[in-house]
Homo-oligomer: A and B are copies of this chain.
Amino acid sequence: MKRREFVGGLAAAAGLAACTSEQADCTSTAAAGGETFEWSCVTSWPPKFPGLGMAPENLATRVEAASGGRLKIKVYGGGELVPPFEVFDAVSRGTVEMGHGASYYHKGKVDAAQFFTAIPFGLTNTELNGWLYYGGGMDLYRELYEPFDLVPLPCGNTGVQMGGWFNKEINSIDDIKGLKMRIPGLGGEVLRRAGGTPVTLPGAEIFTALQTGAIDATEWVGPYNDASFGLHKAAKYYYYPGWQEPGPGLETIVNKAAWDSLPPDLKEIVSITCQALTTDMAAEYTHGNAMSLATLKADPNIEIRPFPDEVVALLKSITEEVVAELMANDPASAKIGKAYFEYLEKTAAYSDISERAYLTARHL
């Protein structure tokens, strides 16, 4: 691993200069408060965006408190220091020490990274964590990012995202054909093969596109974030459950040299805080979605519908086709995808008789 200078990490660089691995008491000196670090964290989110954008803010606040001020992190919204989708490159190059975003934004550079966020009809939040922390997923995640000098730390999960807002009812496969919908990533490719036209738009442009009729449908996140963008006010809408992002995991990425410069106690503080934020973000979304849904349900212009079974079955079979191609064209995706789907088979069998059976019984 190459060591580099950091734009925002002068204190860290100074610490490194004064403290080489030959000094046996280097770590304890750092732990005793002699060395402080000032890092920058770039993100893919609007500043302090509910849920997604709060994770890096909470990370900074909690790490500073837990470290007694020895590690200070300054958080930048998407576009403030680097564009939202250039977080990966900025942290990889060492322009900044840290980033927060979603691994599927690195599609094109590292296609296999998509498995660590979400795959249509794939792992839920808890299932993803089972794979990452106990099923070997983290080893694959670290190995995939190593050539880019990046250390990945899972940090947040939105839970199941909604299928989106549609300006007409979806009664059959025919209603998908010709549909112009804002839906990125693998889900977008599935929609395209089902006869629709996927469009990629930044969150901030969705409302206007819906209102002007430039698009017929959109997915975003769920009631909490959708309502904050006012999507339900753009027109009369049908709101559908999700299939494309069953529990997207977010990530904190740290430049390898910056990570290596931290003493063991600060590494542990950063790791623990990221894992805590997975509980915290899911809690924030559960709460925000439940409260926002109650508001949306009171709106006569919104009708909540399930997709017909035949539509779900079609989307699922196309997903298998799309994922098979991804795995055929990219050796890393083949390796990681194999592990992912073997895990999914076992964990889905358990979720069927636990979470699904329980939620069905409670709903009776």
* A interface residues (Cβ-Cβ under 8 A, vs B): 27-28, 31-33, 62, 65-69, 121, 124-127, 129-135, 159-160, 162, 222-223, 241-243, 246, 263-265, 268-269, 272-273, 275-276, 278-280, 282-291, 293-294, 297, 304, 306-307, 309, 312-313, 316, 343, 346-364
Partner among B264, B287, B316, B358 whose Cβ is within 8 Å of the Cβ of A65: B264
Given A32-B68, A131-B287, A243-B361, 18 more pairs with CB closer than 8 A: A67-B265, A68-B265, A125-B126, A130-B284, A130-B286, A130-B287, A134-B288, A159-B354, A241-B361, A246-B362, A279-B279, A290-B347, A290-B349, A293-B353, A306-B357, A307-B361, A316-B362, A316-B364
A347 CB contacts on chain B under 8 angstroms: 286-287, 290
Given contacts A68-B265, A272-B276, A359-B355, contact A346 B294 (CB under 8 A): yes
A335 nearest CB across to chain B (Å)? 20
Known A-B contacts A134-B283, A241-B358; A349 and B272 likewise in contact (beta carbons under 8 Å)? no
Q: Which residues of B contact A67 (CB under 8 A)?
A: 265
The residue among A246, A286, A352 with the most chain B CB atoms within 10 A of its own CB is: A286
Task: Tell me what chain A mostly uses at the interface: helix, strand, loop, or mixed.
Answer: helix
A350-B289 contact, Cβ under 8 Å, with A133-B283, A360-B356, A364-B309: yes
Contact of A66 with B269 in the complex, beta carbons under 8 Å: yes
Chain B residue at smallest Cβ distance from A352: B363
Q: How far is the CA of A309 from the CA of B361 in the complex (A)?
A: 8
